[in-house]
Amino acid sequence: MWRARPSPARTRDAGHWLCQSTFNRAFLTGAMQYPPLEFYVQEREGSEEAGARWHEATAALGAPRRVGAAGPPLPWWARAHDAPPAKPVFAGTDLNGGPLYVGRAWHEGQLLPAKVAPAYDVAFVAWNGREHSKYDDQYEVLHLRRGRAEWVEASDGVVPAHAFPVGISSGGRLAFSARAAVEGIVTPGWIAEGNSRCHVSYGDKEWLFKKYEVLAIL
């Protein structure tokens, strides 16, 4: 097990790190319209280096704090085999009718939104024309303790103002969970700031869509 080391930008509170990020400061000063993220930071198994990468990405996206009874909906990122007291975010179905959930995974230095297929214990990321598989602790699943997920219609690279940031793509751009219908099957993928298309993985390929839906948490 590991714990992230403290830094001048972090303080300790009841065993959890409270991270003040550039993203949150921009939101608080009105420079950004996206809602601030509040992640519950967990200890992770594996090397300290791997664990630090997850923590740093989480810190870059938002400020973790203990989950309380009041305030806005709090997301919970859990490893594939963890069992948090929350519900995963449904995003679509696979070919066999099984559920697909919202997740995120590292790929080539990016923390990208992923589609999670629990029936097969795997997550998939769309990148560079291909569908890339992620297993075990290579991905995390988004859960909600309260609030609800809403999929907002958009197109041509537009990201709704209240969309929920999930990761960071190349160039430090925020990445959002998005979904589109591939051959009639609604499948989750992602879109990033500055992109004109939604990226979806399906059938070992990456598919690009001008029309899509983006995840918001209310």
Q: Where are the domains of the chain?
A: 1-66, 78-217
Instruction: Encode burial over 34-61: b for 16+ CB neighbours within 10 A, e otherwise.
Output: bbbbbbbbbebeeeeeebeebbebbbbb
User: Looking at 10-14, 22-26, 209-213, which range is the least confident one?
Assistant: 10-14
Provide the token pair at 192: 């990033």
Better-scored residue on pLDDT, 80 or 19: 80
For 28-46, what is each residue's pLDDT tens digit? 233 333 333 333 333 333 4
User: Looking at 48-52, 62-66, 84-88, which range is the least confident one?
Assistant: 62-66
Provide the token pair at 115: 């589609």
For 129-183, what is each residue's pLDDT tens digit? 999 999 988 898 998 877 789 999 999 999 998 898 999 998 889 999 999 999 9
Q: Can you say whether the dihedral through the CA atoms of 153, 215, 130, 182 is positive or negative?
A: negative
| pLDDT exceeds 70 at position 6 | no
Q: How far is CA 35 from CA 78, 133, 138, 218, in A?
A: 20, 30, 26, 10
- Of 100, 15, 29, 102, nearest in space to 64 by CA: 15
Q: Do residues 65 and 16 make contact, with C-beta atoms less than 8 angstroms apart? A: yes
| pLDDT exceeds 70 at position 189 | yes
**pLDDT for 59:** 54
Q: Do residues 137 and 79 make contact, with C-beta atoms less than 8 angstroms apart? A: yes
Q: Tell me how far apart the alpha carbons of residues 67 and 63 are, in angstroms, rounded to a whole number.
A: 12
Q: What is the mean pLDDT of the chain?
A: 72
**pLDDT for 1:** 25
Q: Tell me how far apart the alpha carbons of residues 148 and 114 are, in angstroms, rounded to a whole number.
A: 19
**pLDDT for 67:** 31
Q: How far is CA 1 from CA 13, 44, 46, 50, in A?
A: 19, 6, 7, 11
pTM: 0.69
Length of the chain: 218
| pLDDT exceeds 90 at position 117 | yes
- Of 99, 91, 111, 94, nearest in space to 39 by CA: 111
Better-scored residue on pLDDT, 147 or 75: 147
| pLDDT exceeds 80 at position 188 | yes
| pLDDT exceeds 90 at position 186 | yes
